[in-house]
Structure 1
Amino acid sequence: MTEKTLHITSGDMVGANLARAGLGKEILVWHDVLYDGSRCAGWPDEETITARTEFLLRVTGGGLSRERLLAAVRGQYQRLAGAGEYDHLVLWFDACLFDQSMLVHLLTCLSQKGIHNLELIEVASFPGIAPFHGLGQLSPEQLASCYEHRRPVSPAQLDFASRVDRAFAEHDLAAWREIAAMPSATLPHVPPAMARRLLEEPDAQTGLGRLESLALAAVRAGCHDPLQIFQAVSAADTAPQYWGDTTLWAVLNGLAERRPALLRISGPAARLPQWESSYDLTRFFVAAVP
């Protein structure tokens, strides 16, 4: 009998490339921003499902309907609950904050369901690719070459994942600092990812997180087109980059909506689209408020 394997990862592009990598067609792409927003630790209750739906509605700027998001959130947990029917579960994640917060949550949820036949592939670098930000930079062939490096997930890793997932869920800054300061960990990319999350907390002097500060600096330096701003912020930030265009557009919108506003956005809409849109991004102009 052929053994069944489920591959779990983040990002639709990674999921599509895994499907073309010849490693099997059973792929679950997880969608959520688990380093932020209200939730409980581990397996979600109905209140958390609703809270995550509302959070993702804000993250996408209303670009996806509440009904679609609710169905997606419920659907991915339903599929995860049935993961015990597979002989192998292979989790594919990189070292960035987005992936590490998702990894610890999924490990915690699977452990709570008694599913322990887990293997992990973590890719923090790849020959010939610099700067390396994540799995989305790899071709199907490059992903396939990583498969031999998978390793069983240990009980110690599951215990640590549960601790970190709770810290994220409870927004426990003391726990964040403790985890970020760890010289080593059973999940080695978690401490630096947590250190990056701490940088997004409001600065005592400016009130801005690191990504907000980098975005504002790019505009003040003369970048006004959203794509120019993206390139400037990407160049100024340190690898691995955990954010994409949706996150950055939300940051720019937030800076424009502060009182007093720090940015002014003009163009075909009052806000940059945070999801798929018919608007041409080159028609937007972002300026610093004097």
Structure 2
Amino acid sequence: MTNSPVRKPKLRRVGKNPFDFDEGDPLFAHTLSLEFEKKRAKKLLKARKESGDTNTKLSDIQFELARQHGFASWPRFKAHIEQAKIEMQAVETGTPTALDGDKPTLHIRCGTDIKQALEVGGFQGDFAGFFDPFVMGPVSSTQTLEDHLEIRAKFLDNAGWVNSKKALKNHQNHYRELEKSRNYSRVALWFEHDSFDVLILAYLLNYFSDPAKRPGQLQFICITGYPGVQQFNGLGQLPPQALRVLWSWFEQVSEPQLALGCKVWNAICSPSPVPLMEIIATGTPDIPPFAKALKRHLQELPCLGNGLSLVEKITLEILKQQGPIKAGLLFGQYSKSEPLRYLGDTMFKTYVENLANAEHPALTITSVDASDAPFDASNWFRSHTVSLTQIGHDLLADQKNWLEMGVKDRWVGGIKIKPAEPGWRWDFKNDRPVYSDSEPTSPSSSVGTR
């Protein structure tokens, strides 16, 4: 198999691309200047000396600045700035070299958000989007692939995202593309640190742990930020030149990393959170972002006291503070409040609707536009207002339990939440899952029993 020919980018000027933001936006990827950082270091040193510090040297300040940007040393920080400048110039010429042109390459990402940026950045390898949202709905390691696809397609249909027939076809195409990866000399996995990405990356590492399915070379990134970006949400916000820089950050997937992926995926599919907690306790040194993302995943268990997941709790707290607001503003406020952002607008819409559709709703959704298109998420967010009900206020005051408000069954990975039955909860006070062996409002016993 050979790579697709280089396509001429339609977008030339870096500042006009959809993956760029206004300079004042915290999502904007600022171009770092070596000259500015040198002057900054000297100013900081001068301020230190004027305050009576005679021991600090210029090299100490430079090291501090490098560490602030995520680099182990000043020379590495300098090298990054110089490389970023070169890559920006390459993109601005409109004819950047193909960094992946040395061998047939497949780029895999949990979505299509970087596809255009890769093209503009000169990458000529093929692209496959693999984006089954494992953070929501049931997953299981005991099913055949066919059963797995049926279960996931049914969930997407029930969530109102896409009808099951179309969802099944889309999933079959995604998994079929995955099967083709062994025909490439190199597969590059582009991921970041949130639970949406991490769960999919764990699935892929589990998949590629089978040597028969593995390409000649398997490499990945799972990054937590990018130099010059104040608020890093994900790879999709980065311009083409940044993706070119990131190409040098890729590492070959090791056997311990494949083993971690297998272990994590099996734990995600488990009906108990205990296996995941055991993995989280290790700090996952082979892939450090895993531990935090997996813990955030488990925080979607109903919490002790009011039975809300963390997303639900944050959403209701915003409505309590802000009062009735447009759904789009609510999503924006949620995104700012989320400790490890991972939900897109469509997934958040599902959470909001679930809070409104219970027998005793925690919030109400009011349409302000009768022509609203039911499956157009962006239009829905513009045309609906969300308000907190008295039930919502009572939940936040721990006077009611959400699991007793007539809510539907739901899943956190392989853990099924059946509201009227005993089950797993998240204890925010002790930062761990606990098993409730009685009614939702009754005392609970924990993993280590409490």
Hey, what's the Cα distance between the residues in 2 that align with 1:107 and 1:184? 14
Q: After superposition, what is the alpha-carbon deviation per residue over 1:68-123, rounded to whole angstroms, capped at 9, x for unaligned?
A: 21111011111111111100001010001000000010111122343152101222
Shift of 1:133: 1.5
- 1:115 lines up with 2:218 in the alignment: no
The match for 1:224 is 325
- 1:209 lines up with 2:315 in the alignment: no
Hey, what's the Cα distance between the residues in 1 that align with 2:214 and 2:143? 13
The match for 1:235 is 336
Bigger mean CA deviation after superposition, 10-19 or 134-143: 10-19
Task: Tell me, yes or no, if the aligned pair for 1:35 and 1:168 is still in contact at 8 Å.
Answer: no
One-letter code aligned to 1:168: I
One-letter code aligned to 1:137: Q
Q: After superposition, what is the alpha-carbon deviation per residue over 1:43-73, rounded to whole angstroms, capped at 9, x for unaligned?
A: 95211110011112234x1x42322211110
- 1:160 lines up with 2:260 in the alignment: yes
Hey, what's the Cα distance between the residues in 2 that align with 1:191 and 1:135? 20
Task: Tell me, yes or no, if the aligned pair for 1:19 and 1:27 is still in contact at 8 Å.
Answer: no
The match for 1:197 is 297
Task: Name the SS for the 1:31 alignment partner.
Answer: coil
Residues 219 and 90 from structure 1, CA distance in 2 versus in 1: closer, same or farther, beyond 3 angstroms? same
Hey, what's the Cα distance between the residues in 2 that align with 1:216 and 1:11? 29
One-letter code aligned to 2:226: F
One-letter code aligned to 1:188: P
- TM-score, normalised relative to structure 2: 0.60
One-letter code aligned to 1:5: T
Hey, what's the Cα distance between the residues in 2 that align with 1:274 and 1:203? 31
Shift of 1:15: 2.5
Shift of 1:266: 1.4
Shift of 1:211: 0.5
- 1:170 lines up with 2:270 in the alignment: yes
Task: Tell me, yes or no, if the aligned pair for 2:221 and 2:250 is still in contact at 8 Å.
Answer: yes
Q: After superposition, what is the alpha-carbon deviation per residue over 1:157-185, rounded to whole angstroms, capped at 9, x for unaligned?
A: 10110010011122430012112222342
The match for 1:181 is 281
Hey, what's the Cα distance between the residues in 1 that align with 2:275 and 2:110? 25
Bigger mean CA deviation after superposition, 192-201 or 121-130: 121-130
Paired residues, number: 286
Computing the radius of gyration from Cα coordinates, the structure with the larger value is: 2
Task: Tell me, yes or no, if the aligned pair for 1:42 and 1:109 is still in contact at 8 Å.
Answer: no
The match for 1:3 is 103
- 1:281 lines up with 2:373 in the alignment: no
Task: Name the SS for the 2:140 alignment partner.
Answer: coil
- 1:73 lines up with 2:177 in the alignment: no
Task: Name the SS for the 1:33 alignment partner.
Answer: coil
Hey, what's the Cα distance between the residues in 2 that align with 1:285 and 1:144? 41
Hey, what's the Cα distance between the residues in 2 that align with 1:195 and 1:278? 30
Hey, what's the Cα distance between the residues in 2 that align with 1:114 and 1:217? 46
Hey, what's the Cα distance between the residues in 2 that align with 1:149 and 1:190? 18
- 1:87 lines up with 2:188 in the alignment: no
Bigger mean CA deviation after superposition, 28-37 or 190-199: 28-37
Equivalent of 1:245 in 326, 345, 360:
345
Unaligned runs of 5+ in 2: 3-101, 391-450
Hey, what's the Cα distance between the residues in 1 that align with 2:291 and 2:234? 17
Q: After superposition, what is the alpha-carbon deviation per residue over 1:168-225, rounded to whole angstroms, capped at 9, x for unaligned?
A: 1224300121122223421211110011012111001111011100111111222521
Task: Name the SS for the 1:13 alignment partner.
Answer: coil
Residues 285 and 91 from structure 1, CA distance in 2 versus in 1: closer, same or farther, beyond 3 angstroms? same
Hey, what's the Cα distance between the residues in 1 that align with 2:374 and 2:269? 24
Unaligned runs of 5+ in 1: none
Shift of 1:37: 2.5
Matched-pair identity in %: 25
Q: After superposition, what is the alpha-carbon deviation per residue over 1:110-156, rounded to whole angstroms, capped at 9, x for unaligned?
A: 22343152101222111121221111111122111100111110011
One-letter code aligned to 2:331: F
Residues 242 and 259 from structure 1, CA distance in 2 versus in 1: closer, same or farther, beyond 3 angstroms? same
Task: Tell me, yes or no, if the aligned pair for 2:109 and 2:131 is still in contact at 8 Å.
Answer: no
The match for 2:228 is 128
Bigger mean CA deviation after superposition, 109-118 or 168-177: 109-118
